[in-house]
Amino acid sequence: MIGIFDSGVGGMTVARAIEQHCPGLPLIYFGDIARTPYGSKSRSTIIDYSRHNTELLLEHGASIIVIACNSAASVATGVLREQYPVPVLDVVGPAVDQAVQVSRSGRIGVIGTRATVRSGIYERSIQAQLPSATVLSQPCPLLVPLVEEGWLSRRETKMILRRYLYPLRLRQIDTLVLGCTHYPLLKHLIGPRIGRRVQLIDSSLAVAQHLHHYLQDHPDLAERVRRSGQQSRFLVSDCTGAIRQLAGKIFGRPIDLETIHV
């Protein structure tokens, strides 16, 4: 199975994108809603949570791990790759690749949680590929709670987004990385507020496309995942009516969310 974890429901955008790009492959998803958001946690706590999530997915039959949380990817990817004997993919690298490819001016904005921005992972990764790039990062700590509450079109969300994006718009970026997998659910609000000429990089789509190519390059692994004989499952560490409604909106169908204790 393809194992996917996130700090909440945002990673479901990754799971949905993987369904579309890798049809027929079973998924095991874990959303750690009880401990969300990860972005405000310390580095050591995020690493501990990421280890636990990985072990949980491996116990449920995962043959490959996708870190669908930018906060976790920014600090824990290397640790997980060293510690576990399965491929570990993350959302940062594919998003960086796309941003560097599409930017015309090299002025690239990044929005993310405090942990992601504090890590500097996007700045280092972008400038490693494009040394002349100017990378402008903006922490947006209020967006994850708003998405988790299902406030996807509320006036308050629009006002907060406008305030977060204004400094980036002033600096005339031409590309904006949505450095959190919750943010694709706000693309319809982000686009008009950052400017129609700014290219939005959706990290959930980027990692799904990367996984598709990775499995093409590793057909034995793809076949092992395909022949696992298991059905896709969606696990969460807590659940509310708003979460179930949001999951259905992301997938376009009712999703059976299994609550497990962590």
**CATH number, residue 80:** 3.40.50.1860
85 pLDDT tier (thresholds 50, 70, 90): very high
pLDDT of 230 over the 90 cut: no
Q: What is the mean pLDDT of residues 187-193?
A: 96
98 lies in which domain range? 92-203
* 38 assigned binding-site residue: yes
Count of the separate structural domains present in the chain? 2
Predicted confidence (pLDDT) per residue in 57-67, tens digit = 999 999 999 99
Q: Is the pLDDT of residue 161 over 90?
A: yes
Residue type, 87: P
Residue 141, both tokens = 């700590």
Q: Is 6 labelled a binding residue?
A: yes
Q: Could you tell me which residues come within 8 angstroms of residue 108 by beta carbon, excluding any fewer than 6 positions away?
A: 99, 100, 126, 133, 134, 135, 136, 173, 174, 175, 176, 177
> What element of type H or E holds 12?
helix 11-21
User: Mean pLDDT of all residues in the chain?
Assistant: 94
Is-contact 108 134, C-beta < 8 A? yes
181 assigned binding-site residue = yes
Task: Verify that 12 and 85 share a domain, yes or no.
Answer: yes
Residues noted as catalytic:
69, 180
91-130: per-residue pLDDT in tens?
A: 999 999 999 999 999 999 999 988 889 889 999 999 999 9
Do 78 and 111 belong together in one domain? no
The answer, yes or no, to whether residue 175 has pLDDT greater than 90, is yes
Shared-domain flag, residues 243 and 220:
yes
Do 184 and 102 lie in a common domain? yes
Residues 44 and 116 in one domain: no
79: left (phi over 0), alpha (psi -120 to 50) or beta: alpha
Which burial class, exposed, middle or buried, applies to 204 when counting CB atoms under 10 A from its CB (0-12, 13-18, 19+)? buried
